[in-house]
Amino acid sequence: MTFDLGIVPDGAQRGAAYDAINAEALRAFVWAMPDRRELVVLDWQHPAYRFRPANQALTWQAEWKVPVYPDGDYFAFLSEDFSEGTFGHPWEKTICVLGERLVTSFGRSLATWLPIKRENGRSA
């Protein structure tokens, strides 16, 4: 399920959307995928690394090394088998949610305030 971030205007609304998407993604990573202790994070400009959602959630005011919200680079948070995760596309201004558990959790949450651009690879 791919969501259109192009509707989010610059300024305070963009900052709020950035924070909301990162927070909601973290909630979904922890609650919808409790068996996934680590995700692989890919940022096309930097080395990949392992991300532990529960550690991020338990760290007071933790900074995101790489955010889920695409802020100029391609960002992917993926399970090791690539069956679940997110992919942020900065120029298309979209975020794609992969895998049934994340679509059911994170995707449904995003669908309450962001337009769906594609579902199952087809234009919405």
Q: What are phi and psi of 47, to 5 degrees?
A: -65, 145
The yes-or-no verdict on residue 109 having pLDDT over 90 is: yes
Per-domain residue ranges for the chain?
A: 2-123
Three-state DSSP at 55 gives: helix
On average, the pLDDT of the chain sits at 95
pLDDT value of position 71: 86
* pTM of the predicted model over 0.85: yes
At 46-85, the pLDDT tens digits run 889 999 999 999 998 888 888 999 988 999 999 999 999 9
Q: Compute the C-alpha angle 119/91/106, nearest 5°.
A: 40
Asked if 86 and 96 count as a contact pair (C-beta separation under 8 A), the reply is yes
At 78-105, the pLDDT tens digits run 999 999 999 999 999 999 999 999 999 9
DSSP 95-111: EEEESHHHIIIIIHHHT
pLDDT value of position 63: 85
Q: What are phi and psi of 73, to 5 degrees?
A: -120, 165
Determine the Cα–Cα distance for residues 84 and 38; give it in Å rounded to an integer.
12
